[in-house]
Amino acid sequence: MRDDLDKLKTLGSRTSAPQTYDPSVLEAFSNRHPGRDYWVTFTAPEFTTLCPKTGQPDFATLTIRYIPEKRLVESKSLKLYLFGFRNHGDFHEDVVNIIYNDLSRLLKPRYLEVFGKFAPRGGISIDPFVNGGTGAKYKRLAAKRFDDWQGVR
């Protein structure tokens, strides 16, 4: 049995959905393949947040993609974390950067990107993308992905 799984609180337990943004609900576990590059992709097609000025809901398909180093995010904790944005007011660009910052702190991945494909409101959609990498190889990847970011849609 893996001893790193004992620290996970949400997986396998009944958990209430958070009512507010709370990065402390995020949990991680050990990467059992640290010598290998591989992608982990999460797609949240029903992501919701609020406009900070009007309180109107904003809907998006949120895509989180990363190459892990030593840790991986536990998916149930990620779902709860993302659910906490339902009552959180921030602009689309801010939300994507907040999620990037929180996951970056938690995981310290080789590479991470967060893309929000927000539904149009008022005849315009806003689709923010943020990414970054560590070390020369992953910084080059980040620069290329950023240049080609239209391809992640």
In contact, 15 and 80? CB cutoff 8 Å: yes
> Please, what are the domains in the chain?
16-152 (3.30.1130.10)
Mean pLDDT of all residues in 10-23: 77
The Cα–Cα gap between 10 and 78 comes to: 10
> Is 6 an active-site residue?
no
Active-site residue (options: 4, 6, 37, 58): 58
Q: Which of 51, 90, 94, 127 is catalytic?
A: 51
For the chain, give the secondary structure using H, E and C.
CCHHHHHCCCCCCCCCCCCCCCHHHCCEEECCCCCCCCCEEEEEEEEEEECCCCCCEEEEEEEEEEECCCEEECHHHHHHHHHHHHHCECCHHHHHHHHHHHHHHHHCCCEEEEEEEECCECCECCCCEEEEECHHHHHHHHHHHHHCHHHHC
Closest CA to 29 of 84, 97, 77, 87: 77
Greater pLDDT, 151 or 24:
24
Residues 80 and 18: beta-carbon distance below 8 Å: yes
pLDDT digits (tens, 9 = 90+) for 101-151: 999 999 999 999 999 999 998 899 999 999 999 989 999 999 998 888 765
The verdict on whether 51 is a catalytic residue reads: yes
Q: Round the CA-based radius of gyration of the chain to a whole number and report it.
A: 16
Could you tell me the pTM of the whole model? 0.88
What is the rounded CA–CA span in Å between residue 77 and residue 16? 11
Please compute the mean of the pLDDT values over residues 86-97 and round it to a whole number.
95
Residue 98 has pLDDT above 90, yes or no: yes
List of residues 6+ apart from 98 with CB closer than 8 A: 21, 90
